[in-house]
């Protein structure tokens, strides 16, 4: 099950839906749902850790 790192939305299945974004932070994978990804797309693309958002 994949859980959004920001809003705790979860999805069934072992892989994130194509609309979700996977970000690697501190050696671990973090997933963000479509809504959160859209909201934070600039931060994600600049590879800022979510702690900075
Ligand atoms: Zn989310």
Structural domain spans, the chain: 2-52
Cα(3) to centroid(ligand 1), Å: 8
In whole angstroms, give the CA distance from residue 53 to residue 50: 5
Cα(36) to centroid(ligand 1), Å: 4
pLDDT at 7: 94
pLDDT at 27: 83
Cα(27) to centroid(ligand 1), Å: 20
pLDDT in tens, 24-50: 877 888 899 999 999 988 877 776 665
The pTM assigned to this predicted structure is 0.70
CA distance to 4, 5, 28, 50, per residue, from 45 (Å) = 17, 16, 17, 11
């Amino acid at each position: 099950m994949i859980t959004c790192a920001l809003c705790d939305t979860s999805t069934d299945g072992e892989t994130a839906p194509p609309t979700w974004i996977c970000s690697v932070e501190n050696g671990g994978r973090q997933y963000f749902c479509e809504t959160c990804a859209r909201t934070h797309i600039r931060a994600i693309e600049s590879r800022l850790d979510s702690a900075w958002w």
